[in-house]
Amino acid sequence: MLRLNGHPDNVSRPPFGVIAVHRSEENSALRCADLFCGIGGFHVAARNLGLHVVFACDIDEPARQAYEANFGLRPWGDITSIEPADAPDFDLLFAGFPCQPFSIIGRQRGFADPRGTLFFELLKFIKEKRPVGIVLENVKQLSTINRGDVLQRILDDISQLGYSVDSRVLNALDFGLPQKRERTIIVASQKPFAFFDWPTNRVKMTPLVDILETEPPASYFVSEYIRRKRQEAHTPTVSPAIWHENKGGNVSSHEWSCALRAGASHNYLLVDGIRRLTPREQLRLQGFPDDWEIVCSDAQTRKQTGNAVPVPMVQQVIERMVNHVGQHSIARQPATPQ
C-alpha cells in the first residue's frame, strides 16, 4: 500500500497558460484540492480558470509521476493514510472518486465494494476543511444503481454537513470533445442554492480529424487478421471514424469515440478499423493540451486517460461553481483540444 509522501510545499507552474484572476492583491487565487487526482483533469481545468491547486492525492504511482511531471506538484498517496488536518487548507474540493463499484463494466456493487467506501474518505476532508464549493465526478451508472439509492445516500451525506447539493449526468460530447462519455457530476456549496446553474449550451464538437495524428507510428496498426475480422463484421458510413467493438462482439463506427476505458482490450477502439489510438490522441479526447508531457508507458497512459475526467466538461462546472460562491470572477478560456 502506498503511503503519505510528504507535504507538496513547492508548486511550480505547468507548461501551459494560466489566466489572470480578478481578485484583490490581498487575496490569492482560490485554493483547490484534487483528490483521487489521477493525471489531473480537474487540475488542468482549474489552471485554465486561474485557480491554484495546493493539494492532490492518488494511490496510483505512475499517475502520480505523470501529475508531478506536468504540474510540479507531487500528489500524496493512499487517501486512507492521510489525516485531513495534515493537508493544506483549500477553498474548493474536486474528486473523481473510484468508479469501479458503480460502473456498468463492473458488478455495480456500490457501497458493498470496499472501493465504494472511499467516498467516506471524502467526507472526512469535507468535515475538516469545510470547502466553500465541491465538484465530484463518477460514472453515469452512479445515478441509477439500486434505483438511485446510492446517489441519494451520497447527496444526503454531503447535505447533512450543511451544503446545498445537486447532481446531473453530463456528456463530454456536449462540451466540444469527440467522445461520448457520460458522467454523473455532483456539486455542493456552502452558499445555498435551490438549483445549481448547470451548463446547458452545447459546444460544437471538435472534428475527429483534428484529434487524430497524421503520421501515427506503425506499431499502432493492428494485424491483417484483426483488420479483416473487423471489416467482415462492419461496413462504415463515415471516415475518419472510431470503430467500437462491444462486449458482445458487435462492431459500430462513429465520427466520435465511445468512452475511453482503463481496462478495455487494446483493440476495443480502432481508428477506421485499422489501428489503435495513440497516447496523444487519447489525451486529446479527454481535453488535455498538446504540451502535456507523456512520461509513462503506452499501457499506463491508456489506463490513465481511461480514468481521467473530460477537462472542458468539468471546467464549465467549476466556473459556474466559482461564480456561484461569488469570490472572484473568471476570465473565459476554451478548454477544447487545439
- DSSP string for residues in 47-76: HHTT-EEEEEE-S-HHHHHHHHHHHS---B
In the prediction, which pLDDT does 175 show? Answer: 98
**Among 82, 69, 96, which residue's Cα sits nearest to residue 6?**
82
CA distances from 133 to 38, 93, 319 (A): 20, 6, 11
> Do residues 140 and 249 both lie within one domain?
no
* Residue 152 placed within a domain: yes
- The CA-atom distances, in angstroms, between 262 and each of 23, 106, 185, 300, 320 are 39, 12, 19, 9, 29
The 3-state DSSP class for residue 247 equals coil
Tell me the pLDDT tens digit for each residue of 146-161. 788 889 989 999 999 9
Dmax over Cα atoms in the chain, in whole Å?
65
- Same domain for 222 and 315: no
CA dist 289 and 262 (Å) reads 20
Indicate whether 53 and 132 sit together in one domain: yes
DSSP symbol at 170: E
156 Cβ contact list (under 8 Å, min separation 6): none
Q: Does one domain contain both 256 and 279? A: yes
Instruction: Tell me how far apart the alpha carbons of residues 136 and 187 are, in angstroms, rounded to a whole number.
Output: 6
The domain of 168 spans 31-202+304-325
215, with CB counted inside 10 A (0-12, 13-18, 19+), is exposed
Does some domain include residue 3?
A: no
| Catalytic residue (one of 37, 99, 258, 296) | 99
Task: Determine the Cα–Cα distance for residues 284 and 305; give it in Å rounded to an integer.
Answer: 9
Residue 46 host element (H or E): helix 41-48
Domain membership flag for residue 38: yes
CB 184 within 8 A of CB 169: yes
What pLDDT sits at residue 113? 44
User: What is the reported pLDDT for 63?
Assistant: 98
Residues 285 and 213 occupy one common structural domain = yes
pLDDT digits (tens, 9 = 90+) for 41-62: 999 999 999 999 999 999 999 9
pLDDT at position 99:
55
Task: Characterize the bridge pairing of strands 251-254 and 133-139.
Answer: unpaired
Question: Do 47 and 120 fall into the same domain?
Answer: yes
Query: Strand 164-171 to strand 242-245: parallel, antiparallel, or no bridges (unpaired)?
Result: unpaired
Tracing cell 480529424 back to the chain, one arrives at 209
- Cα R_g (the chain), whole angstroms: 20
User: Are residues 182 and 157 located together in one domain of the fold?
Assistant: yes
Contact 49, 320 (CB under 8 A): no
What's the confidence (pLDDT) of residue 327? 57
Would you say residue 335 lies in a domain? no
For residues 212 and 214, give the distance between their C-alpha atoms in angstroms, rounded to a whole number. Answer: 6
Establish if 333 belongs to a structural domain: no
What is the C-alpha separation between 151 and 149, in angstroms, rounded?
Answer: 6
Between CA 123 and CA 259 the distance in angstroms is 29
pLDDT number for residue 264: 86
Q: Does 99 participate in catalysis according to the annotation?
A: yes
In the chain, the number of structural domains is 2
266, burial (CB in 10 Å: exposed 0-12, middle 13-18, buried 19+)? middle
Same domain for 165 and 308, yes or no, is yes
- Do residue 114 and residue 177 come from a single domain? yes
Q: Rounded CA gap, 65 and 77, in Å? A: 11
Full-model pTM: 0.85
Q: What is the DSSP letter of 116?
A: G
Name residues of the chain where pLDDT drops below 70.
1-28, 99-116, 327-338
Q: Do residues 96 and 307 lie in contact, with contact meaning Cβ atoms separated by under 8 Å?
A: yes
Assess if residue 88 is contained within a domain.
yes
Is residue 7 in some structural domain? no
